[in-house]
């Protein structure tokens, strides 16, 4: 019984190109025959030899191959929204303004109050708590306030006037009063290129060598090469490490 050309080709596990090579018939013509075009007599003999069948086994007009339609892909199911994981409770990080005042802050604050002849009780009444219960932020604001008052007082009363006549030659208590002792000390550290640690009232620390200083600023070169100017009102103290001994100089702000 005669069969379709394409069916015989597939039985021999041939592709169109292979059949065209063996029969000498262009692949385009073989495709046309498999789609139903009537096979030429001369071509039928060639096809039969290439497929190892008799000519009577090949239909003159093949029925086009019915390709199976692929099964439609199943519709994706709507994904259920995933439950949101419970978020961990955020820990409140205490900032320096919330932490208790440092002992050095309270010490410098009491020194300022003493120099300005202000009673500690007067300050505690204004802030509504003892000085020992202040936070770092509150202590810093009070230090800035009374340091500014002390600077104004010093400007209005130069050395030699009543109240600060004996300040010359003593170790500096406030950064505005760069007296002979501190001037000579800072100059010696600058010339020796000593590395100092500068601790500020906000708790941060700067490390570097002195490039220059005034009664109100100190300019240093930090370890990474940056030049930084520190306001002396913000400076709590500075420290120089010398071998096993540590020499510390406190600069009030």
User: Could you tell me the mean pLDDT of each successive run of 10 residues in the chain, 253 residues long?
Assistant: 85 86 87 86 86 86 78 72 71 69 87 88 89 88 89 75 45 50 84 91 90 86 90 88 47 44
Q: What is the pLDDT of residue 195?
A: 92
Q: What is the pLDDT of residue 168?
A: 46
Any residues with CB less than 8 A from the CB of 114 and at least 6 apart, and which? none
User: Mind giving me the DSSP string for the chain?
Assistant: --B-HHHHHHHTT--HHHHHHHH---HHHHHHHHTTPPPPHHHHHHHHHHHTS-GGGB-SSPPPP-PPPPPPPPPPPPPPPPPPPPPPPPP-PPPTTTSBPPHHHHHHHHHHHHHTT--HHHHHHHHTS-GGG-BHHHHHHHHHHHHHHHHHHHHHS-TTSTTTGGGTTSPPSSTT---HHHHHHHHHHHHHT-EEEEEETTS-EEEEEEEEE-SSEEEEEETTS-EEEEEGGGEEEEEEEETTEEEEE----
Q: What is the pLDDT of residue 165?
A: 41
Query: How many Å is the Cα radius of gyration of the chain?
Result: 49
Domains, the chain, ordered by start = 5-57 (1.10.260.40), 103-165 (no CATH), 180-249 (2.30.30.100)
Could you tell me if 181 and 213 are in contact, meaning their C-beta atoms sit under 8 angstroms apart? Answer: no
Q: What is the pLDDT of residue 92?
A: 63
Cα–Cα nearest to 175, from 139, 143, 134: 143
Three-point CA angle 174, 178, 184, nearest 5°: 130
């Amino acid at each position: 019984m005669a069969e379709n050309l394409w069916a015989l080709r597939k039985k021999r596990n041939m592709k169109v190109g292979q059949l065209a090579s063996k029969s000498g018939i262009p692949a385009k013509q073989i495709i046309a025959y498999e789609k139903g075009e009537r096979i030429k007599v001369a071509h039928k003999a060639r096809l039969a030899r290439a497929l190892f069948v008799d000519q009577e086994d090949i239909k003159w007009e093949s029925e086009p191959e019915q390709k199976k339609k692929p099964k439609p892909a199943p519709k994706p199911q709507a994904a259920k929204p995933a439950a949101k994981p419970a978020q961990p409770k955020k820990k409140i990080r205490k900032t320096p303004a919330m932490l208790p005042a440092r002992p050095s802050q309270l010490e410098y604050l009491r020194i300022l109050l003493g120099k300005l002849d202000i009673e500690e009780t007067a300050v505690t009444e204004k802030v509504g708590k003892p000085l020992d219960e202040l936070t770092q932020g509150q202590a810093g604001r009070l230090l800035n306030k009374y340091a500014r008052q002390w600077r104004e007082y010093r400007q209005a009363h130069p050395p030699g006037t009543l109240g600060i006549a004996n300040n010359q030659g003593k170790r500096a208590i406030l950064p505005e009063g760069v007296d002979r002792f501190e001037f000579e000390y800072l100059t010696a550290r600058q010339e020796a290129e000593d590395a100092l640690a500068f601790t500020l009232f906000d708790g941060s620390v700067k490390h570097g060598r002195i490039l220059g200083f005034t009664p109100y600023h100190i300019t240093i070169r930090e370890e990474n090469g940056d030049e930084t100017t520190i306001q002396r009102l913000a400076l709590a103290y500075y420290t120089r490490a010398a071998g096993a001994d540590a020499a510390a100089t406190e600069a009030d702000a």
